[in-house]
Amino acid sequence: MNERDLGLQRVGSSWHRGFNAIYRKELAAWFGTHRWINQSIIWMALTLTPALTVPTATNDRGAAVLALFLWSGSNMMSIGTIILTQGAIVEEKLTQTLLWIFAKPLSPAGFLLGKFAAYAVFIAAIVIGAPAIIVYIYAAIVGLPATISLLNFLVGVGMVYLVLLFVLALTLLLGVLFDKIAAVTAVALATFFSGSGLPSTQLRWLEPYTVWALQHNSSETLNGNFPSTGWWAICSAGISIGLLLAMAITWMQRSEL
C-alpha cells in the first residue's frame, strides 16, 4: 500500500513551500471580514484630508492637490505601513505561533514571502490605491492644467508604492531581528526619516540614487519632469527590497524563533 492509498501527500521540498497557505491566510484576515472597510475609512481620512484642504483660491488647485497627496501623503502612508506591520512577525513570536508553524511543512521563505505578498496587496488596494483614485477624481473636478497627465500621476503613485514596499520589507526584517514591537517601530521610523537626511555632505550625493529619492521624484514626475536619476532610484529600491527580504529569510533559517 503506497502513500496515495493511505491518503498521505508527500511534503514538497521547494524553498518557498507554504507560500500559498500563508498568502491566503493573511489575505483572508484583511479581506475576509469587514475589517477592510474600517481600514479603508482610516486610510482615506489620513491620506486625503491634507490634499483636500488645499485653499480654494490656490492657482492650479488640482495640481496642488495631487502634489500634496504624493508628498505629505507618502509620509503618512509610510508611517502607517510601519504601524500596520510592526507586529506581523513579533506577535507570532510572542504567542509562540511560529513554533507551531514551523512544525508544519512550511519554509521560512514561504512564510515571509507569503506575509510580504499579502501585505503588499493590501497596501496597493487600500493604503494607496483607493485614495489615489479618489484624489485624482477630485483634482480633475477642481481643474488640472494640461501639463498634468494621468500617466505621470500613476508613475508618481508607483514610486510612492515602491517606498511603501521598502518600508514593509524593512519592518518584516526588524520583526525577525527583534522580539519587541517597540524596538521594531523605533528602528523602522528612525531608518525611514534618517535616510532622506544624510548627516554627511560627502554622502548626500548618494541620496538621488536611493529609495529615499522616490518621494521627491514622484512630485517631479507629476509635473512631467522625470529626473535623470529616477531609474537608478527605482532599481535601487527594488534591489533594497530584495536584499531586506533575503536577509530576513536567511536570519530566520539560522535562528530558532
φ, ψ dihedrals at 202, nearest 5° = -70, -20
Per-residue pLDDT of the chain (257 residues; tens, 9 = 90+): 443 443 333 344 576 777 888 899 889 888 887 778 888 888 888 777 777 777 765 558 888 889 989 988 888 899 999 999 999 998 888 776 666 666 667 788 888 999 999 999 999 999 999 999 999 998 998 888 888 899 999 999 999 999 999 999 999 999 999 989 999 999 999 998 886 655 555 556 788 889 989 988 998 999 889 999 999 999 999 999 999 999 999 998 887 55
Does some domain include residue 9?
Answer: no
Q: Which amino acid is at 90?
A: V
> What span, in angstroms and rounded, lies between the C-alpha atoms of 246 and 240?
10
The total number of structural domains in the chain stands at 1
pTM confidence score: 0.87
Does some domain include residue 2?
Answer: no
| DSSP codes of every residue in 5-30 | TTT--PPP--TTTTHHHHHHHHHHHH
Does some domain include residue 230?
Answer: yes
Does some domain include residue 10?
Answer: no
Structural domain range at position 90 = 19-254
Does some domain include residue 6?
Answer: no
φ, ψ dihedrals at 104, nearest 5° = -95, 170
